[in-house]
Amino acid sequence: MIGFILTTLLACADNPADLRDYWYFRTDGVDLPVRVEGKLDSDVILLMLHGGPGGSAVDYNYGYDTDLIEDAFAVAYFDQRTQGGTHGNYGAETLTIQQVATDTANLVDALRDRYGQDKQIWLYGHSWGGMLGTATLLDTGADVDGWIEAAGSHDYPLNDVYTAQKFISQAAEVALDSSVSRQDAMFWSEAGDFASSLDLDNISENDSLDLNQFAFEAESHVELASSDEFGEGLMRYLLLNPTVKSTAWWSGLWGGDALNDDAFTTSYTPRLGEISVPSLFLYGDLDFVCPKELGEDAFNAVDAQGVSTDFVVLEASGHSLMVDRPEDFAQEIITFVNTWGVPR
């Protein structure tokens, strides 16, 4: 059953183009909260696929990059099943990549039913959202107009290999640099030793989780860019966040584990050449969680098919590149969509 079960809660009265629309969408037994904000008269809606799994779209609805993107387009934020503020019955058999991709494809249709069949809809995924977006593109037949993958992981097994290789390389480089602090040197040595101990052809799920933990910790041992706008966005997030974080954390933990189990062995790399819509791949040069080589692989596969595509690496950026370099991040997206978006 697909349908709308809650009417609009918020709308901007000053300018009808500046949309603030909050509703629930029912698909296959779950109710997903949807928040659409920004310039609806642009005729472009970016459908945000949040990270995790186990996260929430609200985490992407407060940054300076968000303000800039919403000045150009409308953005639809929704929580995936079992995550954030979703409601419903979540049988274990529904916690699969295919099911969440089907939910996403159904929401694409619902957005056009609500806002107009002439709207361009671009998938826009971060981290785990890269896996979800790729699955939606390749396995559901969703009618989308473009794809933006920001530090996304469309191939968990290869992701682990690239992360391990990046640690090994960084550890070797740091070992030769006498200017590195003792604390940093100890971290890189430990991470490099761990990565070197792995059989890159057969990384276990537990080792994958440990590698991921090292990758997030690495962000405190590199020099990332910082934005003066982050503090204001953080305050909005803390004060205006409609999601109860403790509830979202508990529900997301269970669902996230199930989806991670599915993703652990999932590789879309062999099929990336099937992507047929304009595609932008944005990665941070200091991202150990989802290394830039993933984006380079995707770009090469899509470009080889003659599809409009671009691969952008933001310097001094880690996994949250939209936080590290918000203006550059937003401008890359705005420029690409304006260049390659085709009116319906």
Q: Where are the domains of the chain?
A: 2-157+225-340, 158-221
Please tell me whether residue 149 adopts helix, strand or coil conformation. Answer: strand
What was the pLDDT predicted at 16? 44
Burial class of residue 87 in the structure, from the number of CB atoms within 10 Å of its CB (0-12 exposed, 13-18 middle, 19+ buried) = middle
* Residue 41 confidence (pLDDT) above 60: yes
Instruction: Give the Cα separation of 51 and 131 in Å (integer).
Output: 9
User: Region 328-332: what's the mean pLDDT?
Assistant: 97
Q: What is the pLDDT of residues 209-232, one digit of tens each?
A: 999 999 999 999 999 987 655 555
Mean pLDDT of 223-244: 61
Share of residues in the chain with pLDDT > 90 (%) = 74
What is the predicted pLDDT for the residue at 19? Answer: 79
Average pLDDT (122-150) is: 98
* 135/300 Cα distance (integer angstroms): 18
Q: What's the rounded mean pLDDT across residues 266-295?
A: 98
Give the pLDDT confidence score for residue 155 in this predicted structure. 98
Q: Which residues contact 290 (CB under 8 A, 6 or more apart)?
A: 127, 130, 151, 152, 153, 159, 283, 319
Instruction: Name residue 208's amino acid.
Output: S
pLDDT on residue 93: 79
Superfamily of domain 2-157+225-340: Alpha/Beta hydrolase fold, catalytic domain (3.40.50.1820)
Output the pLDDT for position 232: 54
Which two structure tokens, joined as six digits, stand for 278? 């304009």
Rounded to an integer, what distance in angstroms lies between the CA atom of residue 158 and that of residue 160? 5
- 95 band by pLDDT with thresholds 50, 70 and 90: confident
Residue 280, classed as helix, strand or coil, is strand
Beta bridge partners of 21: 36
Contacts of 15 (CB under 8 A, 6+ apart): none
- The residue ranges of DSSP E strands in the chain, in sequence order, are 2-4, 18-27, 30-39, 44-49, 74-78, 87-88, 120-126, 146-150, 279-284, 309-314
pLDDT in tens, 42-60: 999 999 999 988 888 888 8
246 compared with 308, residue with greater pLDDT: 308
Q: How far is CA 281 from CA 63, 177, 194, 302, 332, in A?
A: 20, 32, 29, 10, 10
Give me the mean pLDDT over the 14-37 stretch.
84
- Does the pLDDT at position 62 exceed 90? no
pLDDT digits (tens, 9 = 90+) for 244-271: 555 555 555 566 788 889 999 999 999 9
* pLDDT at residue number 258: 83
Residue 259 in tokens: 């989806």
* pLDDT more than 70, % of the chain: 87
Task: Using pLDDT thresholds of 50, 70 and 90, give the confidence band for residue 240.
Answer: low
